C-alpha cells in the first residue's frame, strides 16, 4: 500500500497540481498533509486527488474554518498533532515536530511520524519509528518542491522532487 505525503504547500497552486498528478499516477491510497495549506482556495486543486486526504493545520493556516469546510469534501483536517492507526500502523501526523519531549514520546509510541514546518525533506529511523518530513511542496524557501511516498508493507519511504 502506497501513501502520498506532502506538507508546506503554501498556496503554490502549480506545485500542488503537480503533486496531485504525481500521487494519482502512482495510485496512492491516501495523501497525508503535514500542514500549512494556507488558504482554502488551494483545496480546489487537491479535490482532483483520486483518494482521500488527511491533514493537520500548520502554524500559517489562519482560515481554519474555511479549510475545514473545503477539505470535508475530500477528507479530514485536524489540529496538530493528530494520531491514528492505518492498516495496523500507529501514525502521528504533526506540523511542528521540534519539541524534544514530543519527539521522545512519539518515537516510543508510533510506527510512523509525519511532520512538516522546517521545509527540509528528511527521512530517518529512530528506534522502531520512521520519521518522514516530505519537505516543502510549495518550494518557496528551498527552491525545491518535494513530496514523499511511503510503502506501508515494506516501511520504505523516499522523497520525490517535482519538476
Residue of 58, 20, 19, 14 whose CA lies nearest to 39: 58
Range of the domain at 91: 2-162
What is the number of structural domains in the chain?
Answer: 1
Task: Determine the Cα–Cα distance for residues 56 and 73; give it in Å rounded to an integer.
Answer: 15
Beta-bridge partner residues of 112: 91, 130
CATH number, domain at 97? 3.60.21.10
Cell triple for 160: 520525490
Residue 36: per-residue pLDDT: 98
Supply the pTM of this predicted model: 0.95
DSSP 41: G
Higher local confidence (pLDDT), 6 or 97: 6
Residue 78: per-residue pLDDT: 98
pLDDT (average), residues 103-124: 89
Cβ(134)–Cβ(35) below 8 Å: no
* 89 membership: H or E segment, kind and range: strand 89-93
Task: Determine the Cα–Cα distance for residues 58 and 121; give it in Å rounded to an integer.
Answer: 16
Q: Is the pLDDT of residue 2 over 80?
A: yes
> What confidence category does residue 96 fall into, taking pLDDT thresholds of 50, 70 and 90?
very high
Amino acid at each position: 500500500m502506497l501513501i502520498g505525503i506532502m506538507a508546506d504547500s503554501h498556496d503554490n497552486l502549480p506545485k500542488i497540481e503537480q503533486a496531485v498528478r504525481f500521487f494519482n499516477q502512482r495510485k496512492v491510497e491516501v495523501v497525508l498533509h503535514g500542514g500549512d495549506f494556507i488558504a482554502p482556495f488551494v483545496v480546489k486543486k487537491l479535490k482532483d486527488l483520486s483518494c482521500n486526504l488527511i491533514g493537520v493545520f500548520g502554524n500559517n493556516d489562519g482560515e481554519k474554518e474555511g479549510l475545514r469546510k473545503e477539505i470535508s469534501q475530500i477528507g479530514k483536517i485536524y489540529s496538530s498533532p493528530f494520531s491514528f492507526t492505518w492498516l495496523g500502523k500507529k501514525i502521528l501526523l504533526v506540523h511542528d515536530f521540534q519539541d524534544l519531549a514530543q519527539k521522545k514520546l512519539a518515537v516510543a509510541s508510533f510506527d510512523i511520524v509525519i511532520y512538516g514546518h522546517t521545509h527540509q525533506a528528511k527521512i530517518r529511523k529512530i528506534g522502531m519509528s520512521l520519521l518522514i518530513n516530505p519537505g516543502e511542496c510549495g518550494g518557496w524557501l528551498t527552491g525545491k518542491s518535494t513530496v514523499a511516498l511511503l510503502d506501508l508493507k515494506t516501511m520504505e519511504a523516499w522523497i520525490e522532487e517535482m519538476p
